[in-house]
A and B are shown apart, each in its own frame.
Chain A
Amino acid sequence: MADLNQKFDVLVIGGGNAALCAAISARRAGASVLVLEGAPKFYRGGNTRHTRNMRCAHDAATDILTGPYTEEEFWDDLLRLTGGQTDEELAKFMIRESKDILNWIVEQGVRWQPSLGGTLSLGRTNSFFLGGGRAMLNALYLTAEKLGVEIVYDAEVIDLEIEHGMFLSAKLKQPIDGTSEIRASALVAAAGGFEANIEWLKEYWGEAADNFLIRGTPYNRGSILKMLLDKGVQDIGDPTQCHAVAIDARAPKFDGGIITRHDSVVFGIVVNKHAQRFYDEGEDIWPKRYAIWGRLVAAQPDQIAYIIFDASVRNSFMPTLFPPIEGGSIAELAAKLELDPASLEKTIVEFNAAVRSGTFDHTILDDCRTEGITPPKTHWARRIETPPYLAYPVRPGITFTYLGTRVNRQARMVMKDGKPSANMFAAGEIMAGNVLGKGYAAGIGMTIGSVFGRVAGREAAKNARN
């Protein structure tokens, strides 16, 4: 291993997609690079381990993409899903750069494949990693190692020495080979958000946050983000917001990943712990319906809800990790879910009575709907009447947070006084809020990571040489 007492050109804190893209691009630009990954080797890479695709603009179909996805269309999508909470200049810059990332990332050893089974709706817009996010990450690490990037695991940074917007050194929790202070000419912070820091989440969500499940790495505790904001870096993004989806309540507290998700809402109804429906289950098609239910469940008592459906649709969606809970009657199911049987029966009887039959098609906004109940189910409404009756318990699964460090087009951090930092850059989730003020679209986190990682590494190397 390299001598950690030397002053590196570029220090990268973090170990995911953004961090590795930054490290590789800085190294390719001639800089000496040290990567400090806070997690042990197996858990390296933060939430990149759990990703599977990236959203990049392209003007024509490719081997793996079924059609063009122009810069304009990407921008329109981003504008819509963020409700305008995006930095237009940065966002358009990212979208333009994303085109070249499709090739650049392949040069770094990452391989693509056509969209995965069960994700046909993304076949045109998103490029999937062959073997998934961890395969992508493994490829980036191999490339970085081959190029001579120094990588240290279990290297938790507990303090940053920053003077007047200039990074000087980072302090390690555990000394490595007797060194606990790492000096570098430039810093790239790519250490993720704070979604795994329940105490921090509680500042905004109160005790409800205790019932949140964290879908990704337990290592995204936001410590680097907090240090930077405390030391004069300008913040961006709503601190009170996080992206959440409904995931199985039986999932582990952390790191359950993609396989705990449920996308069966449209095939039934969703009730809270009082066995009451609380939102239109037929409002919109994938992916939007997938993205809103985490927040909806978070607003319910005890942050729990139950997707209720019947045997007629049990094979209509992707197989799930946790099997549905079964009951031969509504009352039996309610007992297993510890819901009041009479209330659940009443909810279902009322729902069934309100269903107006139509032609069911879950791929479009069909004409199966309810009449005369509140909330309505505006599409895909069908009676729940074929035993056994089935249910998935769901809780909010937190994917990422929006609060971050403000950056400019060089991925250079901007200080509270509006001046760019002398030598500090940021990439990935830690600065995603610049582009993604709210909302989410599949694969956009990886686009932010790769594009700004590559830029941050290049600019940091340039900065270090000057």
Chain B
Amino acid sequence: MHGTKILEEADRLMTVCNSCRYCEGLCAVFPAMEMRRAFSDGDLNYLANLCHACGACYTDCQFSPPHEFNVNVPRTLAVARAESYAAYAWPRAFAGTFARNGLVISLVAALSVAAFIFGFAALHDRQVLFGTHTGPGAFYKLMPHNAMAALFGAAFLYAIAALAMGVRAFWRDIGEPIGMKTDAAAVLQAIRDAGELRYLDGGGVGCFNEDDRPTDRRRLYHHFTFYGFALCFASTCVATLYHYLLAREAPYPWWDLPVVLGTLGGIGLLIGPIGLLAERWKRDSILVDEARYGMDVAFIAMLFLTSLTGMVLLILRETAAMGPLLAMHLGVVFSLFVTMPYGKFVHGIYRFAALVRYAMERRAMAQGTAE
């Protein structure tokens, strides 16, 4: 017996799939399934997070609906995955944020932006807020660098801590020892697999979205999004180093590394989310967890807004609009940080952990066969 109805269904499906195995070449889920004969809650949560939702196993399955065996692995694992996010949330009191995630994220974002705007308005007179500021330190006329660093550093550290607690819960749930020595080879393999979205390719032809014609568009847009995000993050890191090590203050000229990285990343983070949203909109509803539509859209929208406000700020930073735009951008980024552990962002974290585990299992199996 399992803890939830969806895990009961996942168990039923894995029993069907394990006696068939036709899909084992499509992704990591089925080979991982084959290493087991029975499935605990943790096993199923592991498989759910290992699934990249490419949909190939649904299109290829001779038992998918309307067949009476009613095998729909992508949707079942999508629901199980979303429920696992709530189960691992830290602190436990925040598990409910996954229930109406779109609403929660929207409220936090709106409050955060409002707080920055009101904060700027309350602390500065109109000339400062709507003034034109240029040259090094221009942003810090509105919010001192140390205050900015302290606030965002704290938010970021909180997000990291909450995510780490979630991963800890996940790792324990799927049956891995907490104090395990770092397995460098497995981590490297997982970085490779995640970096190229190896298991979002339907076994080589692309994933299935709106119909039975495979495409690689979701993978492409996800790459734009992920690498865009990574470049923006790199931009922030470089800027921080500039500030503390070289004593060079933002804003930086357009050709300087933080701006170049941020601009490239920002473009990726505009194209990627729009593409993902369009694909999500078209996606065959049979493949997805419709109840979590809000969670998917909220995260994509947050990434898009982060980039949009940042890009507009870059373009208009030497005008009187800079103050309000900075407030908006900081408000969006702050809410992105604090909601990271309570939204779709966690999919990447748990999936990465699942990929590490899969790489470890694969190697253990290979060694076992060799002996």
Contacts A/B (CB < 8 Å), 23 sampled = A42-B67, A113-B24, A114-B25, A117-B31, A117-B34, A128-B25, A130-B204, A131-B26, A131-B203, A132-B22, A132-B23, A134-B60, A138-B59, A138-B60, A142-B212, A255-B67, A255-B68, A257-B20, A258-B20, A259-B16, A259-B63, A321-B15, A321-B16
- Interface residues, chain B, CB within 8 Å of chain A? 15-16, 18-26, 31, 34, 37, 56-57, 59-63, 66-69, 203-205, 212-213
A49 to B67, CA, bound (A): 12
- Which residue of B is nearest A114, CB measured? B25
From known contacts A131-B56, A138-B60, A321-B16, infer whether A118 and B21 are also in contact, taking CB-CB under 8 Å: yes
Known: A131-B203, A134-B59, A315-B37. 10 other contacts (CB 8 A): A42-B66, A111-B204, A130-B25, A132-B20, A134-B62, A252-B68, A259-B69, A318-B19, A319-B37, A320-B19
A128 to B21, CA, bound (A): 12
- Which residue of A is nearest B31, CB measured? A117
Q: Which A residues are in CB contact (< 8 Å) with B57?
A: 131
A129 to B203, CA, bound (A): 11
Q: Which B residues are in CB contact (< 8 Å) with A321?
A: 15-16, 19
Q: Which B residues are in CB contact (< 8 Å) with A382?
A: none
Interface presence of A52 (CB below 8 A): yes
Task: Evaluate contact between B19 and A131: CB separation under 8 angstroms.
Answer: no
With both chains docked as a complex, state the minimum distance between the C-beta of A220 and any C-beta of chain B, in angstroms: 15
From known contacts A130-B26, A138-B60, infer whether A111 and B203 are also in contact, taking CB-CB under 8 Å: yes
Q: Which B residues are in CB contact (< 8 Å) with A259?
A: 16, 19-20, 63, 69
- Which residue of B is nearest A40, CB measured? B66
- Which residue of A is nearest B22, CB measured? A132
Q: For chain A, residues 130 to 158, give those with C-beta under 8 angstroms from any C-beta of chain B.
A: 130-135, 138, 142
Task: Evaluate contact between A117 and B66: CB separation under 8 angstroms.
Answer: no
A138 to B208, CA, bound (A): 12
Interface presence of A50 (CB below 8 A): yes
For B15, B25, B34, B67, the residue with the greatest tally of chain A CB atoms inside 10 Å of its CB is B25
With both chains docked as a complex, state the minimum distance between the C-beta of A242 and any C-beta of chain B, in angstroms: 21
With both chains docked as a complex, state the minimum distance between the C-beta of A320 and any C-beta of chain B, in angstroms: 5
A135 to B37, CA, bound (A): 25
Task: Evaluate contact between A52 and B203: CB separation under 8 angstroms.
Answer: no
Q: Which A residues are in CB contact (< 8 Å) with B15?
A: 319, 321
With both chains docked as a complex, state the minimum distance between the C-beta of B193 and any C-beta of chain A, in angstroms: 18
Task: Evaluate contact between B62 and A50: CB separation under 8 angstroms.
Answer: yes
For A42, A50, A118, A138, the residue with the greatest tally of chain B CB atoms inside 10 Å of its CB is A138
Task: Evaluate contact between B25 and A113: CB separation under 8 angstroms.
Answer: yes
Task: Evaluate contact between A132 and B62: CB separation under 8 angstroms.
Answer: yes
For B21, B34, B56, the residue with the greatest tally of chain A CB atoms inside 10 Å of its CB is B21
Task: Evaluate contact between A52 and B22: CB separation under 8 angstroms.
Answer: yes
Q: Which B residues are in CB contact (< 8 Å) with A128?
A: 25
> Could you give, for residues 90-133 of chain A, a 1 whenever the CB lies within 8 Å of some chain B CB and a 0 otherwise?
00000000000000000000010110111000000000111111
> Could you give, for residues 310-326 of chain A, a 1 whenever the CB lies within 8 Å of some chain B CB and a 0 otherwise?
00000100111100000
Task: Evaluate contact between A116 and B67: CB separation under 8 angstroms.
Answer: no
Q: For chain A, residues 213 to 245, give those with C-beta under 8 angstroms from any C-beta of chain B.
A: none
A142 to B213, CA, bound (A): 8
A50 to B213, CA, bound (A): 21
- Which residue of B is nearest A320, CB measured? B19
> Could you give, for residues 393-416 of chain A, a 1 whenever the CB lies within 8 Å of some chain B CB and a 0 otherwise?
000000000000000000000000
Task: Evaluate contact between A134 and B20: CB separation under 8 angstroms.
Answer: no
> Could you give, for residues 229-273 of chain A, a 1 whenever the CB lies within 8 Å of some chain B CB and a 0 otherwise?
000000000000000000000001001011100000000000000
With both chains docked as a complex, state the minimum distance between the C-beta of A49 and any C-beta of chain B, in angstroms: 4
A128 to B23, CA, bound (A): 11
Q: Which A residues are in CB contact (< 8 Å) with B31?
A: 117
A69 to B60, CA, bound (A): 28
For B60, B66, B69, B205, the residue with the greatest tally of chain A CB atoms inside 10 Å of its CB is B60
